[in-house]
């Protein structure tokens, strides 16, 4: 089992990749700040309106980051749930990624990568998976 609680920014991605590589049966991950996508995201497209105002951009970036992570986990053989683990009055950072290894064929989350490319952004978890899949081993 791998647990990451408020692992800041890309530390969550490294914890998730560690879990994937070690075939952790259970993953409980509570991301904290998701700066990577927020710092880089820009572009034209369906979600451009969400990038115009700082607070909305920050929240959108956090949701996009965790949606990409959930998709990556599911394509690496995990059944994934996203849930609120405490009420918003206790903490605004209350999203948990809960995953159970179900096995099966691992596939690269190409759709998530294409969406991030569209907005000139990237996610460390996808980079780590891509490096592994191209024979670069575990970074």
Least reliable range by pLDDT among 32-41, 69-78, 119-128: 32-41
Residues 6+ apart with CB under 8 A from 56: 50
Q: Please list, residue by residue across 32-66, b when 16 or more beta carbons sit within 10 angstroms of its beta carbon and e when fewer do.
A: bbbebbbeebeeeeeeeebbeeeeebeebbbebbb
Quick one: pLDDT band at residue 46, thresholds 50, 70, 90? Answer: confident
Q: What is the mean pLDDT of the chain?
A: 89
Between residues 101 and 119, the one the model is more confident about: 101
Query: In the chain, where does DSSP find H-type helix?
Result: 11-21, 35-40, 54-75, 110-118, 124-131
pLDDT in tens, 48-58: 899 899 899 99
Is the pTM higher than 0.85? yes
pLDDT in tens, 65-110: 999 999 999 999 999 999 987 777 766 677 899 999 998 889 998 9
Q: In the chain, helix, strand, coil percent, each to 5? A: 45, 20, 35
Q: With 60 as the cut, is the pLDDT of residue 138 above it? A: no
At 48 the pLDDT is 86
Compute the distance between CA of residue 104 and CA of residue 32 in angstroms, rounded to an integer.
30
């Amino acid at each position: 089992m791998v647990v990451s609680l408020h692992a800041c920014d890309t530390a969550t991605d490294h914890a998730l990749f560690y879990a994937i590589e070690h075939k952790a049966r259970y993953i409980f991950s509570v991301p904290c700040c998701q700066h990577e996508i927020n710092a880089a995201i820009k572009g034209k497209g369906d979600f451009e309106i969400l990038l115009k105002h700082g607070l909305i951009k920050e929240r959108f970036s956090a949701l996009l980051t965790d949606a990409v992570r959930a998709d990556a986990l599911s394509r690496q053989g995990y059944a994934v749930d996203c849930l609120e683990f405490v009420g918003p009055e206790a903490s605004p950072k209350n999203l948990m990624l809960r995953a159970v290894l179900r096995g099966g064929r691992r596939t690269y989350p190409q759709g998530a990568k294409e969406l991030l490319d569209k907005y000139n952004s990237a996610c460390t978890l996808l980079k780590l998976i891509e490096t592994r899949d191209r024979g670069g081993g575990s970074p």
